[in-house]
Structure 1
Amino acid sequence: MYDEILVPTDGSPAAAAAVEHAVTLADRFDARLHALYVVDATAYSAIEAGTDIVAEALETEGEDAVDRIAEAADDAELPVVESVVSGTAYRSILEYADDNDIDMIVMGTHGRRGLDRYLLGSVTERVVRSANQPVLTVRERSDENGGE
């Protein structure tokens, strides 16, 4: 049913929570895991000086984030594809999913509400609304008891 599972990451705790679910699903369905980090060029386009330094730092952060997913996949003896790409986050995730015949996307959500959500938007929300594939969202737990 699910042969290719995409887990986009931004390196956050919310994304880490999604990795656990993605690994479990990939193990259950004997699927290949795709770890994707998007260096969002639009977020830093207003910076004139030091753009290359920022982009390089984000790329390094992305490589570290996908490496952590690859380690989790390796621990579960799952095949994994690691990708770091540049672009607008939600568009790049959707393009990657379509270009790589992804069967399911597993994403973390920060659980923002109200004005924060309205002002900041949500990459996860945009992917949920636009993806051709099923999207499993995993909410970051905010306390040690697992609730809010």
Structure 2
Amino acid sequence: MLKYSKIMCAFEFDGNSTAALLLASALAKESNATLYILHIARVPAQDMIVPLPFDADPRWEKEARAKLALIVQNTIKNDVQYVIDVRTGVPDTDIVRAAHELGVDVIVMVTHGRHGLERFVLGSVTEHVIREAPCPVLVLHHTPSTPAPV
């Protein structure tokens, strides 16, 4: 089995990301690796043409960090060393940027399963990460029936 020292789990607030978190934590436990749980928080007003300056620790990041901490606490056992990392940005670009900055060995994430015109218009975060990441990307397939976490 491959051994990793740094594993990143790209996390969205949906049930599918919980499955990715479980897999990433199992890999981290097996390798005695540090698990970086990354959530990219978008600025609430996505239609802004000119971005407004904001605090060093914006409200939406604090809210996302608190929500993610609760999910992690209810999902991961204490025998895995982890770091919660919440950043404001654009998921496809900032997941890759974080992977470079942290020097991770593998990224674990879920695809959202978009097809056709929706995928063409919105693009594919997973596809971009696979193309641009400095390390292997382990992708779990989207399962539409998975409930969102608390």
- Shorter-chain TM band: 0.7 to 0.9
The gaps in structure 1 that reach 5 residues or longer are none
What residue number does 1:85 align with? Answer: 87
CA contact (8 A) 1:38 1:92 kept: yes
Find 2:67's aligned residue among 64, 68, 72: 64
Mapped to 2, the partners of 1:117 and 1:111 lie a distance apart of: 8
What residue number does 1:126 align with? Answer: 128
- DSSP 3-state at the match of 2:79: coil
What residue number does 2:16 align with? Answer: 14
Look up the equivalent residue of 1:60 and give its one-letter code.
E
> Root-mean-square deviation (CA), in Å?
2.7
Look up the equivalent residue of 2:138 and give its one-letter code.
L
Look up the equivalent residue of 1:69 and give its one-letter code.
V
Find 1:104's aligned residue among 103, 106, 129: 106
The gaps in structure 2 that reach 5 residues or longer are none
Mapped to 2, the partners of 1:32 and 1:119 lie a distance apart of: 36
What residue number does 2:33 align with? Answer: 31
> What is the Cα deviation at residue 140 of structure 1?
2.5
> What is the Cα deviation at residue 12 of structure 1?
1.3
Look up the equivalent residue of 1:63 and give its one-letter code.
A
What residue number does 1:40 align with? Answer: 42
With 12-21 and 99-108 compared, the bigger mean Cα shift is at 12-21
TM-score for both structures, normalised by structure 2: 0.79
Deviations 1:107-135 (A, max 9, x none): 01111111111111121111011101000
Mapped to 2, the partners of 1:117 and 1:65 lie a distance apart of: 27
> What is the Cα deviation at residue 14 of structure 1?
2.0
What residue number does 1:3 align with? Answer: 5
Higher helix share: 1
Cα distance 1:71–1:32, how it changes in 2: closer, same or farther (>3 A)?
Answer: farther
> What is the Cα deviation at residue 56 of structure 1?
2.8
Deviations 1:66-105 (A, max 9, x none): 54235433x1510001111112212211111111110000
Mapped to 1, the partners of 2:103 and 2:23 lie a distance apart of: 20
**Identity rate, percent:** 29
CA contact (8 A) 1:7 1:33 kept: yes
> What is the Cα deviation at residue 40 of structure 1?
2.5
TM-score for both structures, normalised by structure 1: 0.80
